[in-house]
Amino acid sequence: MQIFLDSTDTKVIADLASTGLVDGVTTNPTLIAKAGRPMLEVIAEICDLVPGPISAEVAATTADAMIAEGQKLAGIAPNVVVKIPLTRDGLIACAAFANEGISTNVTLCFSPTQALLAAKAGATFVSPFIGRLDDYGFDGMDLIRDIRTIYDNFGYETEILAASVRNVAHVKDAAIVGADVVTIPPAVFGDLFKHPLTDKGLDQFLKDWAGTGQSIL
């Protein structure tokens, strides 16, 4: 499973990308607003830091305007993925981008039938929001599971990008039920490394090694 960072903090992205474990980055208007910098500048910088897919979201709501904005965003760098909402106009724009060879991330997916339409429109990625579904009493993993079944049934190549991820358990469960990608906040990325038994074991190993008085170098 690919791991994307959901962030526009270029310093944090650069630091975490140095692990070699970051496959891409997703952004949205809220994250761009928090960055406090021009959107095109931020996206260009992220594209230089991470060679994988970088999602940049349109702000328009009509198909023609989305297409115009998406074409401009796609011109920033070859690895830009145009992010569009899962609306009727969004899917019209998605199909147009697919015909142009422009990669897309169809976002704000909350049902299997929406995901089916996104795949039929030629989406590169579809982003089901699992955390937001959980907030409303649904099980976000059920959505991932249903989408996986539908895509496998018909051979759709659209990748399932689990979004609105809140914790390590979401990452684990998304991997188990078959998400192709998970996009996570930097804090959750950091938590993936952690386990109390790892810390305890390492402390014991270090104490035992110190007691030998040896040095490897």
Active site residue 120: no
Strands 54-57 and 24-26: parallel
* Spatial separation of the C-alpha atoms in residues 14 and 18, rounded to whole Å: 6
Catalytic residue (one of 83, 194, 200, 207)? 83
- Cβ contacts of residue 55 below 8 Å, gap of 6+? 4, 24, 25, 26, 27, 80, 81, 82, 83, 105, 107, 125
- Cβ contacts of residue 42 below 8 Å, gap of 6+? 8, 10, 27, 32, 35
| First CA to last CA distance, the chain | 37
Residue among 125, 190, 189 at smallest CA distance from 162: 125
User: Which amino acid appears at position 132 of this protein?
Assistant: R
- Residues forming beta bridges with residue 84, ordered by sequence position: 106
Kindly list the catalytic residues. 83
